Amino acid sequence: MDKNLTLYLTGLPDTLLLFNEPMSRHTTFGIGGPAEVLIQVNTKDAARAAARALKEYDITPCVIGNGSNILVSDEGIRGAVMKICCGEYRVSGNTVYAGAGATLNKLAAAARDAGLSGLEFAYGIPGTVGGAVYMNAGAYGGQIADVLRASEYLDGSGKAGMFSKDEHGFGYRDSVYMHGEYIILEAEFALNNGEISEIDEKMRDYLKRRRDSQPLELPSAGSVFKRPAGNYAGALIEKCGLKGSRIGGAEVSEKHAGFIVNRGGATCEDVKRLIEHIRETVLREYGIMLECEIRII
């Protein structure tokens, strides 16, 4: 990286630069080689300043949040990684405003404490607001598209903008953000009044279901595959007898076949080979080609 750019970024408030930083420290999979430089921004202002500085040097960063839905190459990532950690949030009436780095757990809890319903489904999803908006995260019949009113972003030229609800192009695990160069800064959620006790009960129920059915005790990137039309990826994988299948340190979870877990020392190549084995087996047995939900970088 250019010396002048390094000096500028080093001096930015609320910004941390880490060189040759192992991405295994920044992904829930615990997998990934070193990033040439990782730029952690802790506020929206820091994100704006860093993004615009990178643009001046024609550098497009790889943007991550909590690293909960990605698989990073064993060779690492060339260039810059920007980790969005702006996690501030506030409640005003029936609206919750949240920085892209806010965790979904904290967001759902803040809404509950304000007596606002609509984000219960997000409780227990190990991601951030930015990542959730990016992929239209969902669970237990709810999704981000149901509650998002607007989002703020920086585009590929570093200019700020806003998308209204209808401009997000939401689909199943899809949004406009997946088809262009954007950095999500903040999201605005429109929620409904509710009883705190009822909201809390629903959140506890969803969390219990996750703990009972998902391998939360082991590193993973969540559900590996999108749900195929009229079926469930986990069910198809289990019917193929693939639970417990292992390549290197990567294993199809014994608890939920839709998850691949890191049993210890798993590499990106281990996971990729296991993914291909699963896809080939399900295609051969059921004629269905599973589509990956996790981003492979």
Which of the residues 21, 24, 117, 173 is marked catalytic?
A: 173
Measure the CA–CA gap between 170 and 190, rounded to whole angstroms: 16
Contacts of 131 (CB under 8 A, 6+ apart): 64, 65, 66, 68, 69, 137
**Structure tokens belonging to residue 106:** 């904290």
DSSP label at residue 94: T
Which of the residues 175, 223, 245, 253 is marked catalytic?
A: 223
**Structure tokens belonging to residue 165:** 């609800």
Q: How many CB atoms lie within 10 A of CB 157?
A: 9
Question: Please, where are the H alpha helices in 12-103?
Answer: 44-56
One-character DSSP codes across 205-245: HHHHHHHHHS-TTS-EEEE-BPPPTTS-HHHHHHHTT-TT-
Q: Is 293 a catalytic residue?
A: yes
8 A C-beta contact, residue 153 and residue 184: yes
**Structure tokens belonging to residue 205:** 């129920």
Return the closest-CA partner of residue 138 out of 155, 164, 119. Answer: 119
Measure the CA–CA gap between 145 and 2, rounded to whole angstroms: 40
Cα 230 to the center of its chain, rounded Å:
25
Which of the residues 120, 152, 251, 293 is marked catalytic?
A: 293
Q: What are the catalytic residues?
A: 173, 223, 293
